[in-house]
Amino acid sequence: LKSPAAYPAYRAAVRADPSFHDAWHDLAFALGNDQLHRHAEMAARQALAVRATGENWFSVANHVMSQKRYAEAADIYAKGAALSPSLVDLHHNWGFACHLSGSRECAIRAALKACELWLSGEATTID
């Protein structure tokens, strides 16, 4: 479904079952695509509450970054990296958030970790 036509369907799904992870996740994605980042963040946090994964931390952090809350996003990416240490997308974005928040050492560490994961063949990515 294309947003915003999809919003009522996703909202009905989560009203019927607040633990419906995929509906929360897809709602966050649709809202983010429409640049509704505050609402997307709230939906992504609901998905995270249902299923605490590195990918869900990544999603929340991306929506926080889109609101230019860079230091907060960096902290959120760090939480995701703790759960999914091989998720290279997390480390890449973590480094960028650190850079934008002015934390040079954090940016370098995260970027080096992303490179290390790729070079070692241990990197996983978000589908």
pLDDT (tens digit, 9 = 90+) per residue, 1-39? 567 788 899 999 999 999 999 999 999 999 999 999 999
The residue-averaged pLDDT of 75-80 equals 98
CB 57 within 8 A of CB 90: yes
Report the percent of the chain where pLDDT is more than 90.
93
Q: Which residues of 102-116 are buried (b: 16+ CB within 10 A; e: fewer)?
A: ebeebbeebbebbee
Nearest alpha carbon to residue 58 among 45, 71, 39: 45
Coil, strand or helix: which one is 121?
coil
The residue-averaged pLDDT of 71-96 equals 97
Query: What is the pTM (predicted TM-score) of this model?
Result: 0.92
Render pLDDT for 38-54 as a digit per residue (tens, 0 to 9): 999 999 999 999 999 99
